[in-house]
């Protein structure tokens, strides 16, 4: 694993695709078929057109499902299907860690957004092993991860604050070290990110307690009102700067529900007034142009709710923009 600030996607760096067919974190079934919908929409063909080398690892297999379903975790509040989610996210963490240690670019496709708990755990587990090696000669080294979270929702709930108990509304809080230990300590690093390195973009649907949690947390938050007033380009310039100025790696997690449902109908928590087609692409294009992106995740495509795989196709196109596809 190479040690360098921002492991930029190079011509010789392989993109490693990992599907996570998870739907236990969401309120509606079907999102577990998201990885298949994205592949059917032409993900591999799009990467080939960009002349990118890639390996598709298929989908994460969640083992010992029956045993996981029998487990009981004592947590304050409500977290639906927690044993299954813990088992799945631990498996994702192991896969992502291996990808990073191969010096490859992780491309994670979901699945509901609870998968990010495993993705970020795997990234930081690998980076902390890198940090330990560097510290043998540079004792003060600390490797940090910047996070740009593009989503209609803040995902800063915990079991104590979530009205629904759906864990796909908790991954940012989990990454910050908030919530039950069985989630926050996956991968052995807690917290995994620092508030000042986290940027939320596209917010427009927040639970009452979640609003206060965002204000209290110290993360940077840009709502749709901010985008309306300032424009997507200005917001993304700020977001990229905030997430990279003090960090070594940059992870972007894109929830397809950030896009307006007239453009992306195939998702379980639609809210009108979202990103336009071009705003979503501009965000990804600017991330690509920053040369800072080191891992990418796209979640919440639900083909059961989609129209002719329109949202699956959008997901593929957005991934392509993030990985360097340009208009000219």
Question: Is 248 labeled as catalytic in the residue annotation?
Answer: no
Work out the end-to-end distance of the chain between its first and last CA atoms, rounded to an integer number of angstroms: 33
289 is catalytic: no
Verify whether residue 257 is a known catalytic residue: yes
Q: What does the block give as tokens for 279?
A: 């705003």
Q: Residue 111: what are its φ and ψ, rounded to 5°? A: 80, 150
Active-site residue identified among 59, 151, 205, 210: 151
Active site residue 181: no
Q: Is 130 a known active-site residue?
A: no
Note if 168 is an active site residue: yes
135: CB partners within 8 A, 6+ apart:
141
Note if 216 is an active site residue: no
209 alpha-carbon distance from chain centroid = 22
User: How many Cβ atoms are within 10 Å of 255's Cβ, its own excluded?
Assistant: 27
Residues 6+ apart with CB under 8 A from 160: 76, 77
Three-state secondary-structure class, residue 276:
coil
DSSP assignment of 180-226 equals -HHHHTGGG-SS-S-GGGEEEEEE----HHHHHHHHHH--EEEEHHH
Q: Rounded CA gap, 11 and 179, in Å?
A: 39
Token digits of residue 156: 């800063």
Q: Which one of 257, 297, 306, 317 is the catalytic residue?
A: 257
d(CA 113, CA 120) in angstroms, rounded, equals 12
Catalytic one among 81, 93, 95, 168?
Answer: 168
Q: Which residue out of 23, 130, 255, 279 is catalytically annotated? A: 255
| Residue 136: count of CB within 10 angstroms of its CB | 8
* Residue of 130, 131, 155, 248 marked active site: 155
Candidate list 23, 300, 306, 317, residue with the active-site label: 300
Q: Judge whether 251 counts as a catalytic residue.
A: no
Catalytic residue annotation? 113, 151, 153, 155, 168, 255, 257, 300
């Amino acid at each position: 694993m190479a040690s360098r600030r921002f492991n930029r996607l190079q011509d010789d760096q392989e993109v490693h695709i990992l599907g996570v067919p998870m739907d236990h974190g969401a309120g509606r079934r079907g999102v577990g078929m998201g990885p298949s919908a994205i592949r059917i929409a032409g993900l591999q063909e799009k990467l080939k057109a960009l002349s990118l080398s890639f390996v598709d690892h298929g989908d994460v297999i969640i083992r010992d499902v029956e045993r996981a379903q029998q487990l009981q975790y004592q947590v304050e509040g409500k977290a639906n299907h927690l044993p299954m989610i813990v088992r799945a996210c631990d498996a994702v963490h192991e896969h992502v860690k291996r990808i990073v240690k191969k010096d490859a670019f992780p491309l994670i496709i979901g699945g509901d957004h609870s998968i990010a708990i495993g993705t970020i755990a795997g990234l930081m587990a690998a980076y902390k092993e890198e940090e330990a090696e560097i510290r043998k000669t540079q004792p003060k080294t600390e490797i940090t991860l910047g996070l740009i979270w593009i989503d209609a929702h803040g995902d800063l709930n915990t079991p104590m604050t979530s009205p629904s108990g759906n864990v796909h509304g908790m991954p940012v809080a989990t990454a910050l070290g908030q919530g039950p230990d069985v989630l926050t300590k996956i991968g052995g690093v807690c917290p995994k990110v620092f508030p000042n390195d986290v940027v939320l973009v596209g917010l427009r649907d927040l639970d009452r307690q979640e609003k206060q949690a965002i204000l209290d947390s110290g993360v940077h938050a840009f709502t749709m009102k901010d985008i309306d007033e300032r424009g997507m380009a200005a917001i993304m310039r700020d977001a990229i700067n905030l997430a990279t100025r003090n960090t070594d790696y940059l992870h972007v997690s894109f929830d397809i529900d950030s896009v307006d449902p007239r453009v992306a109908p195939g998702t379980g928590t639609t809210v009108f007034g979202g990103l336009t087609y071009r705003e979503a692409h501009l965000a990804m294009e600017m991330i690509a142009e920053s040369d800072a992106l080191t891992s990418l995740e796209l979640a919440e495509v639900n083909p059961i709710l989609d129209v002719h795989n329109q949202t699956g196709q959008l997901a593929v196109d957005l991934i392509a923009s993030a990985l360097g596809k340009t208009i000219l």
